Amino acid sequence: MKLWGGRFTRETDKAVNDFNSSIRFDSRMYKQDIMGSIAHVKMLGKCGIITEEESSLIQAALHDILNDIERGKIELDPNAEDIHSNIESILISRIGDTGKKLHTGRSRNDQVALDIRMYLKDEITEIKKLLLSLEATLVKLAEEHTGTILPGYTHLQRAQPVTFAHHLMAYFQMFRRDIERLTDCYKRVNVMPLGSGALAGTTYPLDREMVAKELGFPAITENSLDAVSDRDFIIELLSCLSLIMMHLSRFCEELVLWSSHEFSFVEMDDAFSTGSSIMPQKKNPDVAELIRGKTGRVYGSLVSILTTMKALPLAYNKDMQEDKEITFDAIDTVKACLPVFTNMLAAMKVNKNNMYNAAKGGFTNATDVADYLVKRGIPFRDAHEITGKIVLYCINTGKTIEQLTINEFKSFSPLIKDDIYNEITLEKCISGRNLPGGPSEQTVMAQIKNAREFLNSNP
């Protein structure tokens, strides 16, 4: 059944019907569509726009349709124009002409805007739960590795020693921001547009606040033109999802590197690895690579909707039907990646000795040599130059800094004493960095404590 056939004298071309139809992807919003219709028709009855008896009949029929869909007793029509017309057709087939009153005071424009907002509210809540599960895994792993030392990197070159816990908690902060962004995005999604009509509201005395309350919205949209043409909340959500995928991708990139023979910092569990069809020795981090690859897919959704919306005049334009398919795909992608990544991380083996030995190389304690000299009165820029010469000497002689004799140290500065050996151990390099946010065990435990409080406040 078409909702708009009266003005037309010819049937729509079949290819155009197929091209125009959105049922293949918007059918997933059947529950939101029905619940929105129930709230709408309940309000129509209360406001006297239709009779209370008609309202009750339609509400009961809609509840039955929802139950039948969820029990598999109804198969949605793949030839329908969209989920909205499909549900309305089923309703009319069950209760006759009374069902035709459902759409009183409503346009598909504000109906679609309502459905997608209701759907996204549910999905944001689910994605936040998945992120919180990942965060809990990160905290648990960090608690186990407050003393596990590895090299920190800049430019992918060994820089300074940190702990694995400190490294993990850096990602905790990234995903925490993702959760906070989703929470903030939810506020913009959580506004009720029904009653805006096609673009200019309606002459029926609708009670929009009643519908909002019925559906759990704290506020209604303030401008009918904006309400039906706004897709900012979708763009904002896709931006949030893109950032989540970026953070997953960065983490996956490190896991791919760390699981290589050259690093051997971690080993992926067999359950999260694959082999080669020709090379029997291979154990590939395919899960991490695939998550990294799927990031581009979510980015594509964001760029797509931005491009679609960039030149659209007010109000609704059919271009905007393109919003749902890409949004659903991005949501599905994130929801697929988060749990498999969390489980992969939890099952991963950490090679503590390899991490520690790597931290011993690459002169990761060089900064602490410079700091040692500064504490003895040498200006930092001079201390930096002296330490650079020490590193060059070590490279030429094939030594690490801590392997130098005291006489070799003194050849660079007479201020260097025997206590330098205690000051430049990896353990001292880390424990000395005990400012808030630093890698010392004390400060990392404070980070973990704060993280636990955040998790407890977001059950």
Q: Could you list the active site residues?
A: 155, 276
Using CA atoms, how far apart are residues 429 and 403, in angstroms rounded to an integer? 16
**H helix intervals, 30-160:** 30-46, 52-70, 83-95, 108-144
As a whole number of angstroms, the distance between CA 432 and CA 423 comes to 9
Element (H, E) at 163: strand 157-163
Token pair for residue 63?
Answer: 């509840």
- Which secondary-structure segment (H or E) carries 150? strand 149-154
Q: Of 116, 303, 327, 143, whose CA–CA distance to 228 is shortest?
A: 116
- Measured over the CA atoms of residue 203, residue 209, residue 214 and residue 215, the dihedral's sign is positive
Q: From CA 291, how far away is CA 246, in angstroms rounded?
A: 10
Give the ranges where 375-419 is alpha helix by DSSP (H): 380-397, 406-410
Q: Hey, which residues does 12 pair with through a beta bridge?
A: none
Burial (CB < 10 A; 0-12, 13-18, 19+), residue 403, is: exposed
**Is the CB of residue 245 less than 8 Å from the CB of residue 298?**
yes
Find out whether 327 and 348 touch, Cβ atoms under 8 Å.
no
What residues pair up with 157 in beta bridges, in sequence order? 154
Tokens found for residue 436: 């808030």
Q: How far is CA 74 from CA 29, 30, 32, 65, 86, in A?
A: 15, 12, 16, 8, 11
Q: Check if the beta carbon of residue 263 is closer than 8 Å to that of residue 358.
A: yes
Write the CB contacts of 208 (distance below 8 Å, at least 6 apart in sequence): 192, 194, 195, 220
- Measured between alpha carbons, how far is 52 from 56 in angstroms, rounded to an integer? 6
Q: What is the DSSP letter of 171?
A: H
Helices 164-189 + 441-456 axis angle, to 10: 30
Could you give the CA distance from residue 263 to residue 258 in angstroms, rounded to a whole number?
Answer: 5
